[in-house]
Amino acid sequence: MYLKSRQLSERIKAVTEEADRVTDHVCAFEEFIALPFFGQIILRFNLNKDEFTAKEVWRFESILRMAAGEEFLTDFMGSVYRKAGLDFSLLEIRLRELDRQLRDESVPSSLHAEGIRSDGAFLLSAAGLDSELPVWEIQPEGDGFYLLVLGKEPKQIKAVEEPFRISVSEVEERACTGLIKAALYAGRNNVSLLWLLKDGTAWK
């Protein structure tokens, strides 16, 4: 599988080591997530600081984008955004707003798109599902995989243990589209993803 390939592992290692270096070990790589439908991979980081402001998060977001270039998207773990003031109880509403506001925003595929889309189709087939389902997210979990497919409402679709562990759930398409477009908009315009998710003041 492409997600387990040496090529991808080496590229992620190089980018995350650069991010660690340029942030003086403040930004710590935590995990990567593939988004096959949109052809992107997100590298997710934590902040090795006890206290930080939303403005500091913005600064580190910019540094991470520079380290990743156009090859990967980057963001922080949810705990970082929560600590910086993001109210997760309002997040789904905000994501739907972003989906509407950014309806004309394009979503280009990364150079990893073909590989992760093949992985998505393979994992769906292995779970006994239609390989054409739109896979929003693949998250490797130990010796298994967690898949989210785009749909209308959050619900589990299927879980299998053979040929290996695969769990497949459905998530709301509008919220996912709002999130990926917000991340790309933030990168293109050098604004904070946290800022967009928090209150949308970038629109004023």
Three-state secondary structure call for residue 203: helix
Q: How confident is the model at residue 200 (pLDDT cuts 50, 70, 90)?
A: low
Residue of 43, 18, 72, 38 lying closest to 139 (CA atoms) = 43
130-160 pLDDT, tens digit per residue, is 999 999 999 998 889 999 999 998 999 999 9
- What pLDDT shows up at residue 203? 45
Flag whether pLDDT at 20 surpasses 60.
yes
**N- to C-terminal Cα separation, the chain:** 44
Q: How confident is residue 201, by pLDDT bands cut at 50, 70 and 90?
A: low
Cα–Cα distance for residue pair 89/96, rounded to 1 Å = 13
Packing angle, helices 173-189 and 91-101, rounded to 10 = 70
Q: Which two tokens stand for residue 194?
A: 């946290």
Rounded-to-integer distance, Cα 8 and Cα 2, Å: 7
| pLDDT 10s digits, 58-86 | 999 999 999 999 899 999 999 999 999 99
Whether the full predicted model's pTM is greater than 0.75, yes or no, is yes
What residues have CB less than 8 Å from 24, skipping those under 6 apart?
none
Gyration radius from the chain CA atoms: 17
Percent above pLDDT 70 for the chain: 98
CA geometry: angle at 188 spanning 186 and 191, to 5°? 35
- Please report, as a single letter, which amino acid is at residue 89: S
pLDDT for position 129: 97
